[in-house]
Amino acid sequence: MSQRTTTLAPGVEYHRVLAGDQRRIGRGILAIVLLMGGMFLFSILFPVIAAMVQGPVSPDDGVVYTPLLHAAGMFAVALLTPWSMLIQRWFYGVKGASLHSVFSRFRFDIFGRALVVIVPAWTVITVALYWAPLPETTWSHTDILWFLLATLLLTPLQAAGEEYGFRGLIFRVAGGWARGARAGLVVAIVVSSVLFAIAHLSTDMWLNAWYLVFAVGVALITWRTGGIEIAVVLHAGFNTLNLLFDAAFRVDFADAYERSAGVGSPITMLPAVVIVIAVIVVWVRTRGAGAARTPADAEARVEAVRAG
Model confidence pLDDT, tens digit, residues 48-86: 999 899 876 655 554 578 899 999 999 999 999 999 999
Residue 194 lies in a domain: yes
d(CA 209, CA 285): 27
CA gap 85, 164 in Å, rounded: 8
Give domain status of residue 289, yes or no: yes
Q: What is the pLDDT of residues 158-181, one digit of tens each?
A: 999 999 999 999 999 999 999 899
129 lies in some domain: yes
Containing structural domain, residue 57: 14-307
| Residue at 76 is within a domain | yes
Domain count, the chain: 1
Secondary structure (DSSP) of 5-74: BSS--TT--GGGTT--SS--HHHHHHHHHHHHHHHHHHHHHHHHHHHHHH----GGGT--S-HHHHHHHH
pLDDT per position as a tens digit, 85-131: 999 999 999 999 999 999 999 999 999 999 999 999 999 999 999 98
In a domain, 156, yes or no: yes
Say whether 137 sits in a helix, a strand or coil: coil
In a domain, 6, yes or no: no
Distance CA 180, CA 190 (A): 16
Q: What is the residue type of 99?
A: L
Answer yes or no: is 7 within a domain.
Answer: no
Q: Residue 194 above 70 pLDDT? A: yes
Cα 104–chain centre separation: 18
Q: Considering the domain boundaries, does residue 94 fall inside one?
A: yes
- The rounded distance, in Å, linking the Cα atoms of 14 and 175 is 9
